[in-house]
Amino acid sequence: MRSSRDERAPNSRSGVGQAIGDAAAYPARVAAHALRGQIETAAEDVLAAPEIARLLDRALAGSLPEDFARSLVRHRVPERVVEELAARGELDRLVDQVLASPRSLEFVDRLLASQEMQHALRRVLAGPELRGALASQSAGLAEQVAAGVRHAAEGLDRRLGRSTSATDEAYAGVVSRAVGLVIDAILIAVGTLVLGVGVGFVTWLADGLRPHWLAGTLAGIVGWIVTAGYFTLFWSTTGQTPGMRLMHVRVRPDRPDRRLTVWRALVRTFGLVLAIIPCFLGFVPALFDRRRRALQDYLAQTVVVVDDGPPAR
């Protein structure tokens, strides 16, 4: 019985003390409630005073905003706020809310339709930086494709052609030369087509060419002239056509004391035609010859070598 009285005694004393404390604080709470309106009014009057406004203007005109901004950056306050929002998922919700807002879509439409934005887009699209980047990307892609084609052609050349010793010069195989020839044929076809369209337009202005067989004959002659001039010009000047340049192969005389003259290039062009006419049988000797020479190489006394370096000047 004594222990139960001792247990109730502290509780009763604490309840009495709390009641006394509430009674003592009640007048203070009543006074604070009564004076809250007056305190708020006085605070508004103080903040609206001209002296306070001048003090704020002076503080904002000084280095306080910059110091405050630097302090925020130094203590990584924006990063911490963004990380906290991202961790709680609030950042995604805010972004989705902004993107889904009709005002955001309206703002984007107005921005894209503005004359300033259109002028900026035209200036960026017509700038040399963008053209240079596109040209660089296109050139890089074309070079990668060409390198892949060269690698595949060289692999087939090693399988089809006769193996050479390590001391022999690297001669171009049949596959590499064939790919270069196909590229040259496409270029010749395009050039002949353009020239034919021009000639056809001129003859149309002149009320046509009579008889029709004469027009066909002239078109065939022009095609042969374009083909002969194409190979003769490139072989006699640079030693390689655009197709051969893409495949990194080059024509040169079979002996150092000889030169690749216009006559020799013309003979090689005639030999190329003879090698193609019998279903490309003129290229068969290149599969067995040590220097991989075809019919046109025998006739013009030339060889086709692998040229990985810059073109000779």
> Each residue of 208-220: b (16+ CB within 10 Å) or e?
ebeeeeeeeeeee
Q: Report the Cα 313 to chain-centroid distance in Å.
A: 33
Q: Model-level pTM greater than 0.75?
A: no
301: left (phi over 0), alpha (psi -120 to 50) or beta: left
* Rounded-to-integer distance, Cα 284 and Cα 294, Å: 7
Which helix (H) or strand (E) is 76 found in, with range? none
Q: Would you state the pLDDT for residue 156?
A: 86
**Separation of alpha carbons 152 and 87, rounded Å:** 52
- Residue 1: predicted pLDDT: 47
Instruction: State the chain's maximal CA–CA distance in angstroms.
Output: 142
Beta partners for residue 306, in sequence order:
249
pLDDT value for 166:
43
φ and ψ at residue 288, rounded to 5 degrees = -120, -20
State the alpha helices, DSSP H only, in the chain: 2-47, 50-61, 64-74, 77-88, 90-100, 102-113, 115-125, 128-160, 174-205, 212-237, 242-247, 262-276, 295-300
pLDDT of residue 294: 94
Q: Give yes or no for a contact between 96 and 102, defined as CB atoms under 8 angstroms apart.
A: no
Residue 76, pLDDT score: 82
- pLDDT of amino acid 35: 56
Residues of the chain with pLDDT under 70: 1-49, 129-130, 133-135, 137-139, 161-169, 202-203, 205-216, 308-313
Instruction: Tell me the sheet residues that pair with 82.
Output: none
Tell me, what's the pLDDT at 52?
72
The whole-number pLDDT of residue 42 equals 63
How buried is 223 (Cβ within 10 angstroms: 0-12 exposed, 13-18 middle, 19+ buried)? middle
Say how many residues make up the chain: 313
CA dihedral 161, 162, 164, 168 (to 10 degrees): -70
